[in-house]
Chains A and B, each alone.
Chain A
Amino acid sequence: AQKVTQAQTEISVVEKEDVTLDCVYETRDTTYYLFWYKQPPSGELVFLIRRNSFDEQNEISGRYSWNFQKSTSSFNFTITASQVVDSAVYFCALSEYTGNQFYFGTGTSLTVIP
Chain B
Amino acid sequence: GAGVSQTPSNKVTEKGKYVELRCDPISGHTALYWYRQSLGQGPEFLIYFQGTGAADDSGLPNDRFFAVRPEGSVSTLKIQRTERGDSAVYLCASSPQQLTSPTDTQYFGPGTRLTVL
- Provide the residues of chain A in CB contact with B91, threshold 8 Å: 45
- Provide the residues of chain B in CB contact with A45, threshold 8 Å: 43, 91, 93, 108
Q: How far is the CA of A45 from the CA of B111 in the complex (A)?
A: 9
Tell me how many residues of B have a C-beta within 8 Å of chain A.
30
Chain A residues close to B by CB (< 8 Å): 4, 33, 35, 37, 42-45, 47, 50, 91, 93, 98-107
Complex partner residue of A99 from B40, B44, B106, B111, CB under 8 angstroms: B106
Q: Which 10 A/B pairs are nearest by Cβ-Cβ distance?
A: A104-B42, A45-B108, A99-B99, A44-B110, A101-B45, A47-B105, A104-B43, A50-B105, A106-B42, A91-B42
Check if B25 is an interface residue, CB within 8 A of chain A: no
Chain B residues close to A by CB (< 8 Å): 31, 33, 35, 40-45, 48, 55-56, 58-59, 89, 91, 93, 95, 98-99, 102-111
On whether A107 and B110 interact (CB within 8 A), knowing A47-B105, A100-B56, the answer reads no
